[in-house]
Amino acid sequence: MPTWTALTQTAGREAAEAIAELGEDLTPEPVGSGVFEIEDGSDRWEVGLYFTESPDEVALALMAAAWGADPFVISELPEVDWVAHVKRELSPVEAGRFFVHGSHDADKVPEGSEGLLIEAAMAFGTGHHATTKGCLLALDRMIEAGEQPQRIVDVGCGTAVLAMAAARAFPVIVLAGDIDPVAVDVARANVIANGLDGRVECVEAVGFDHPLIESAAPFDLVFANILKQPLIDLVPDMARQLAPGGKAILSGILVTQAEEVIAAYAAGGLPLDRRDDHGEWSTLVVHRK
């Protein structure tokens, strides 16, 4: 049976995300990576990189030192442990009517819930992160309120979890774009696995910058779970690409950054409807006047 090498360490959020990203450039390439919040109030994150061959320990030590992070803990895992690890990390997540789960939990979707199948992969959006959950809850409230957006785009789709949730809720074609080609591949695979082929179109795009997205504008609903600065940079495009009365669900914003993002959107003609904080993360709903 093959063994896996798991590298884990804890770090601050920014360092953990950077290490997971840089880890993908290593030789040999990791077969998986993940950044998981340690929910003990310590503001520490666990970053894991998983290899089928032994990685270059010198490169790893340099990478950890460059980020001022602790050295990696290197452990050999029999295959069975790796599977168990992924399953443990990917316990199902409930957010309103949505139940995000791996294939090992496909039989656990509660009656009346919308199941979304997301396997562990190298893209963000398993539903575990507070920002994804915040967006799913905002969508759930819109559905509850009887809103029926027709033109929808998910900017920074990652696994396409938000785009697929919207496609389950509304009988329209949902567009999903990501700057990262690996995420786009993962998103396409998820769309097929969820039986949404033809209902969610995934493209490689920076912001709204793709012919398919531009030709579908203006939008009634935009998701953008990206970080504070890209969200602020996106204000002029967001104002142009949203239809009057259209809404944007924004996340990836630390609670301490929320006022700055709210002010930037209000100044761009996109006032705040609602703000919800989940732990250290804020999710905002804004609309175009």
Ligand X SMILES: C[S@@+](CC[C@H](N)C(=O)[O-])C[C@H]1O[C@@H](n2cnc3c(N)ncnc32)[C@H](O)[C@@H]1O
Does 180 help bind ligand X (rule: CB under 6 A)? yes
Shortest spacing between CB 136 and ligand X, in angstroms:
8
Nearer residue to ligand X within complex by CB, 7 or 249: 249
Which helix (H) or strand (E) segment holds residue 9: the answer is: strand 3-11
* Residue 112, number of CB atoms within 10 A of its CB: 7
Shortest spacing between CB 160 and ligand X, in angstroms:
8
Nearer residue to ligand X within complex by CB, 5 or 131: 131
Nearer residue to ligand X within complex by CB, 177 or 246: 177
Laid out side by side, the sheet with 200-204 consists of 200-204, 174-178, 152-155, 219-225, 242-254, 281-287, 272-278
Residue pair 101/117 in contact (Cβ under 8 Å)? The answer is yes
Binding mask 212-251 for ligand X (x = CB under 6 A): -------------xx---x---------------------
Which helix (H) or strand (E) segment holds residue 5: the answer is: strand 3-11
Shortest spacing between CB 107 and ligand X, in angstroms:
24
Cα-to-chain-centroid distance, residue 42: 22
Nearer residue to ligand X within complex by CB, 64 or 139: 139
Total residue count of the chain as it appears in this document:
289
For β-strands 114-117 and 98-101, DSSP reports them as parallel
Shortest spacing between CB 144 and ligand X, in angstroms:
20
Contacting residues toward ligand X, per CB under 6 A = 123-125, 131-132, 135, 154-158, 161-162, 177-180, 183, 205-207, 225-226, 230, 252
> Binding site for S-adenosyl-L-methionine: which residues?
132, 156, 178, 225
